[in-house]
Chain A
Amino acid sequence: MKYFIRKFLILILTVFLISLMTFVAFHVIPGDPARLILGTSASEEAVEALREKLGTNMPLTVQYRNWISGFLRGDFGTSIKYRMPVASLMHDRIPVTTLLGVMSLVLILLIGIPLGIFSARVRNTPGEHVLNFINILGISFPNFFLSIIFIWIFGLTLHWFTPGRYISFDRDWAGCLRFMFWPALSVAIPQTAVLVKYVRTAMLEQLREDYVRTARGKGVGETAILYVHVFKNAIVAVVPLIGMIIASVLSGSIIIEQVYGIPGIGKLLISSVTSRDFPLTQTLVVYIAVIIVVINFLVDIVIQIIDPRIRLSDRS
């Protein structure tokens, strides 16, 4: 229980630091955001009016307090470009990005784990080199290049989906999943390559353990050893990786949403950066960072529950 409380306190502290650092980054910059937004040709009155609206004419501590208390009440500020509350802009986009993330994660686990086991099985055979090569390719292909290739081959040439035409889940769930499969695969492939390597290493480590020798001695077949005995232990070794994978999936989807024209959080974030919509960028950055920190916290808790031994090796 002490462990959980400490982890929780660290979580709170990290979230506080994230909000503070983002706030500092966006406020202690040379120059005045109001002036930056309006440009040098704007009149002093217009700039002063925007300062008033953004609240940037108040002391920094007051600004931070207002911002945080707004955050806790669900008031994320107002977007300059869209002239709308940030919360309502996010409302429609969060499910889209969540769907993309979940689909990617499912694909990563569905392809990565069996392939990792398989590549442990074919160790020291020609198959190993083939798999290694595919793996290196997977890691080396930037996900946005992969997406463009997918759009060209599967979208424009084979017509398996219509590029650039996002179908909302509520209107046509089957069409939506068919469309989202490709961006999800683009996000998934580089991460899958990383997972395969990791699973393979974990499996090979397990194969050297005593219990494997015992199983072999009892006459258990090689396939059964791999898929039943070793697999269970290797999975435990992979769970800590989940947090990192989810973080990479979220980062990946920021770019991929742009490539496929998916109206999610990532696309909103990029457009906010391009149009210098500070309040929107600031909120989205904190939102994404906090999501990732919370997911990592949950992963830690899950690991703790399935394998309490890890507590002993946790020194941080």
Chain B
Amino acid sequence: MKKGTIEFRIGFILTGIILFLAILSVFYTPYDINAMDKTARQLAPSLQHLFGTDNYGRDIFSRAITGSRFTLLVALSTVGSCTVIASALGLISGYLGGPVDEIIMRLIDAVSSFPDILIALIVVTILSYGKYTIVIALCVTFVPSFTRIVRTATLQFKNAEFVRNLRVFGVSDLRILLVHIFPNTFPLLLSTIVIGLSNAILAEAAMSYLGLGIQPPTPSWGRMLQESQAIIYNAPWAAIAPGIMIVMTIMGLNSIGEGIRKRYLA
């Protein structure tokens, strides 16, 4: 068996389940996610309500799978936008070197001297809550580490034999950078993206738990955990369902990341 196969299998199964449920929620949920039912409060898991119901009689399964959709969307758009910004910064910084590199890297250093959660909190505070606030907040948080990785990879190839040859042939810097160097950073970038997704999901859940992420009535795992805390003794399933979904997603993504690392980077 090739290196990393076990990790890939576990990872793809776990993320596959979550992805399937997220897509399913677009077309079908057993119950309306916001329908409250006074007669069905805090019901234990059963065939009618797979994961039980919460304090307002809302179906937790429906909410949990819909929540996965929004959480994944936030994570994907965060990591997507962050990858674009960080790739540009990292490529420019690494390729040009000199004062440009110095300025970009010192700024990156300054931002990353703040712990992640503080950056996210600052952005949320100054932007006031909107639909995309959480995406911007998390994106700013992740840009420094992504930029460093792209820059390091760029430096590796900047003085490689094939790049020097290209220069002799008069290929433009921009073309060298985008067509010849950038693709070489993909394996490293890919594992960074996968781990970044898992970090983004954790961070989004934490921010939503604090009430600073995805805003109600849109369901999100973090928010569901926060709401379940008051009824944890009578209805533990209300916390366990979204919690386990988070754990599964993180485990899945981390396994894939580990697999990539073992197969392509070791």
A58: chain B residues at CB < 8 Å are none
Q: Is the CB of A281 within 8 A of B110?
A: no
Instruction: Please tell me if the beta carbons of A270 and B205 are within 8 angstroms of each other in the complex.
Output: no
Residues facing B in A130-151 (CB within 8 A) are: 136-137, 139-142, 144-145, 148-149, 151
Tell me, yes or no, whether A241 is within 8 Å of chain B by CB: no
Query: Which among B32-40, B153-161, B182-190, B225-233 touches the partner chain?
Result: B225-233
The residue in chain A whose Cβ has the minimal distance to the Cβ of B202 is A142
B206 at the A/B interface (Cβ < 8 Å)? yes
Known: A21-B111, A157-B233, A289-B115. A148 touches B225 (CB 8 A): yes
Contact B118–A152 (Cβ < 8 Å) = no
* With known contacts A149-B243, A156-B232, A136–B121 Cβ distance under 8 A: no
Binding-face segment, B46-54, B88-96, B247-255: B247-255
CB pair B116 A251 closer than 8 Å: yes
Q: Kindly provide the distance from the CB of A64 to the nearest chain B CB, expressed in whole angstroms.
A: 16
A115 to B228, CA, bound (A): 33
The interface bits of chain A over 255-283 (1 if a CB of B lies within 8 angstroms of the residue's CB, else 0) are 10011000000000110011010100100
Contact of B115 among A145, A148, A250 (CB under 8 A): A250
- Asked if B114 lies at the interface with its beta carbon under 8 angstroms from chain A, I say yes
Taking the complex as formed, is B211 at the interface, i.e. its CB lies under 8 A from any CB of chain A? yes
The answer to whether the Cβ of A107 comes within 8 Å of any Cβ in the partner chain is no
Taking a contact as CB atoms under 8 Å apart, the answer to whether B251 and A140 are in contact is yes
* B115 A273 Cβ-Cβ under 8 A: no
Instruction: Evaluate contact between B206 and A255: CB separation under 8 angstroms.
Output: yes
Inter-chain contact A281/B113, CB cutoff 8 Å: no
What are the interface flags for B124-162 relative to A under an 8 Å C-beta threshold, 1 for contact and 0 otherwise? 111110000000000000000000000000000000000
- With contacts A142-B202, A144-B206, A247-B115 taken as known, whether A285 is within 8 angstroms of B225 at the C-beta atoms is no
Q: Which residues from B are CB-within-8-Å of A269?
A: 121
How far is A299 from B127 in the complex, measured between Cα atoms in Å? 35
> Is B171 positioned at the interface, with any CB of A under 8 Å from its CB?
no
Do B118 and A274 touch (CB < 8 A)? no
Provide the bound-state CA to CA distance between A151 and B228, in Å: 12
- Given A36-B128, A149-B239, A251-B118, do A17 and B110 touch, yes or no (CB 8 Å)? yes
B45 in the interface, Cβ–Cβ < 8 Å? no
Listed stretches A22-30, A179-187, A205-213, A224-232; interface member? A22-30
Nearest-neighbor residue (CB-CB) of A148 within chain B: B239
Contact B229 A25 (CB under 8 A): no
Residue B126 contacts which of A29, A247, A293 (CB distance < 8 angstroms)?
A29
Contact B117 A251 (CB under 8 A): yes
The answer, yes or no, to whether B70 is at the interface (CB within 8 Å) is no
In contact, A273 and B233 (Cβ under 8 angstroms): no
B265 within 8 A of A: no
Check if B181 is an interface residue, CB within 8 A of chain A: no
Q: Nearest chain B CB to A118's CB is how many angstroms away? A: 21
Question: Does more than half of chain A's interface fall in helix, strand or loop, or is it mixed?
Answer: helix
Check B26 for interface membership: any CB of A closer than 8 A.
no
Confirm or deny: A292 has a beta carbon within 8 angstroms of a beta carbon on chain B.
Answer: yes
Interface size on A, residues (CB 8 A): 43
Distance (whole angstroms) from the CB of A132 to the closest CB of chain B: 10
Q: Which of A14, A144, A254, A276 is most buried by chain B, counting CB atoms within 10 A of its CB?
A: A144
B210 near A: Cβ within 8 Å? yes
State the CA gap A169–B57 with chains docked (Å).
41
A50 within 8 A of B: no
Question: B212 near A: Cβ within 8 Å?
Answer: yes
Question: Complex formed: what's the CA distance from A270 to B111 in Å?
Answer: 20
Decide if B114 touches A285 in the complex (CB within 8 Å).
yes
| A281 nearest CB neighbor, chain B only | B125
A36-B126 Cα distance, complex, nearest whole Å: 10
Q: A251-B118, A288-B115 are in contact. Are A141 and B247 (CB under 8 A)?
A: yes
* Min C-beta distance of B125 to chain A, whole Å: 5
Q: Is B236 an interface residue (CB 8 A)?
A: yes
Q: Which residues of B contact A14 (CB under 8 A)?
A: 109-110, 113
Cβ of B122 < 8 Å from any Cβ of A?
A: yes
30 cross-chain CB contacts under 8 A: A14-B109, A14-B113, A17-B110, A18-B113, A21-B110, A22-B122, A26-B122, A136-B254, A139-B250, A139-B254, A140-B254, A142-B206, A144-B205, A144-B206, A144-B222, A144-B225, A148-B232, A148-B243, A247-B115, A251-B118, A255-B117, A255-B210, A258-B210, A259-B209, A273-B121, A274-B211, A281-B121, A281-B125, A289-B118, A292-B113
Q: List the 4 closest A-B pairs by CB distance, nearest first.
A: A145-B243, A140-B250, A17-B110, A251-B115
Known: A156-B233, A288-B118; 4 extra A-B contacts, CB below 8 A, are: A136-B255, A140-B247, A273-B125, A285-B121
